[in-house]
Every structure is written in structure tokens, then in C-alpha cells.
Amino acid sequence: MIVAIDGPSGTGKSSTSKAVAAQLGLSYLDTGAQYRAMTWWMLTNGIDVSDASEIAAASGKPAIVSGTDPEAPAISADGADASGPIRTQEVTSAVSAVSAVPEVRSRITELQRTIAAGAEGGIVVEGRDIGTTVLPDADLKVFLTASAEARAARRSGELKDKDGKAVADLAATQQALAQRDKADSSRKASPLKKADDAVEVDTTELTLEQVVECVVTLVEQAA
């Protein structure tokens, strides 16, 4: 059972994919984390991420290793744990430029296909181009959407200070998300796009539990 879950940022892809995989005993792969780990490695190794040819030349260097446990998804670059640093603002701002470079995409796509092929019992793979490019023969393809307001509210709610107070500015978050989606949807190499045979689920008015229930039902129907 191979399940592809795509969609723009803030639609609930990660939370949904992890919960569906855990509930059904499937493996889980966060492909955004792989692009983020590549970006983090480039930033910490002095690669100029505004220069596509420098990015392309460096794209084969780091070993990017992903865990597939939905309860504890690990990610490392050249043996260094990347799970904290890949969520920083610096990486988030640079990741679209790095992931638009075809050499980066072909390297990471190959990794993704190898992981999916080796996942015994099946896997939930989340990203932007899983249904269209990485795993076009997936047993089920889901495309999650949500209004720009709902997505920004979810994302800014995730950014808390040490006392648990929300720290993000909603308007700025919405603008940053829109910018990243525009870059991800308009790039030439496998842009963010709904596959023709994907089931679209609008999560704007749904709780996480409702989205998970909906996707679990779709998986059971596809089995």
C-alpha cells in the first residue's frame, strides 16, 4: 500500500500523514524534511543558495538519511541530526530555491523511490510532487488544500515561545506561505500540482481527527 499525500504548506499534510501511518501500521516519509536537510547542509557548508549552479554542483555531496517511523521521524545530513535545524526560519526561507534545482530533485527523488520500494507493508509519503512525479503508481493519492487564512493560522499557532505564547505575526506568516507556494508551484522541475487521479480534501473546516478519518477511509477503500 503506497499512499501519496501532497498539497501546499499548512494544509495539515505532516500531522495527517503521521497519524494515518501510525493508525494503519505503515511507514512514513516526510519528503519536505529531505529538501530541508539538503538546504541546511548547503547553508552550513558555505554554498551560495542564490546560485543554482553552485547548488547543482553540491547536490550529490551530503548523505541524506531519513527514518520512516511515524512516531519518531528522524532526518540527518552527513551523519548530523538535522531534525531541529531544518525547522529554522533560515532554512524555510531558502528551501524553495534549493528544491527548484533539477539536480537536487533527481537525487532526492531517487532516495524517495528507494525508501518507498523498501518499505515492507506500505508507506505514507508526503510532499509536493509525490503523486505526479515520485510515485505516479501510488495506490492512493490525496491532495490536501485549505484556505490561505486557515493555513496561516495553523502555521503561526505552531510557533510558540518558551512560555507557550504564539510568537508569529499572522499577516507575515500568510505572506511567507504565499511566497513559498508560488515558488513551489511555478518552478519548472516537478512543481506542486494535484495529480489528475488524486482525491482532493479541503481541510479548512475540518479538525485533524476528521481529516485523518477521511484519509484512513480512503486507504481502506483503495486496499
Residue ranges of the annotated binding site for ATP are 7-15
E strand or H helix at 73: none
Give the span between the Cα atoms of 96 and 52, in whole angstroms.
12
Segment lying near ligand C5P (by CB under 6 A), choices 17-25, 51-59, 63-71, 128-136: 128-136
Q: Does 11 bind ligand C5P (CB under 6 A)?
A: no
Q: Does 31 bind ligand C5P (CB under 6 A)?
A: yes
Q: Does 18 bind ligand C5P (CB under 6 A)?
A: no
Give the span between the Cα atoms of 129 and 122, in whole angstroms.
19
Which of 3, 7, 9, 101 forms a contact with ligand C5P (CB under 6 A)? 9
Residue 125, helix vs strand vs coil: strand
Q: Does 129 bind ligand C5P (CB under 6 A)?
A: yes
Q: Does 184 bind ligand C5P (CB under 6 A)?
A: yes
Q: Does 115 bind ligand C5P (CB under 6 A)?
A: no
Query: CA nearest 62: which of 85, 84, 29, 36?
Result: 36
Query: CA nearest 16: which of 34, 35, 3?
Result: 3
Which of 180, 195, 206, 219 forms a contact with ligand C5P (CB under 6 A)? 180
Which of 107, 128, 141, 155 forms a contact with ligand C5P (CB under 6 A)? 128
What is the β-pairing status of strands 64-66 and 75-77? antiparallel
Residue 199, helix vs strand vs coil: strand
Give the span between the Cα atoms of 56 and 38, in whole angstroms.
11
Nearer to ligand C5P, 21 or 129 (CB): 129
Q: Does 144 bind ligand C5P (CB under 6 A)?
A: no
Applying CB under 6 A, the residues found at the interface with ligand C5P are 9, 31-32, 35-36, 95-96, 99, 127-130, 180, 184
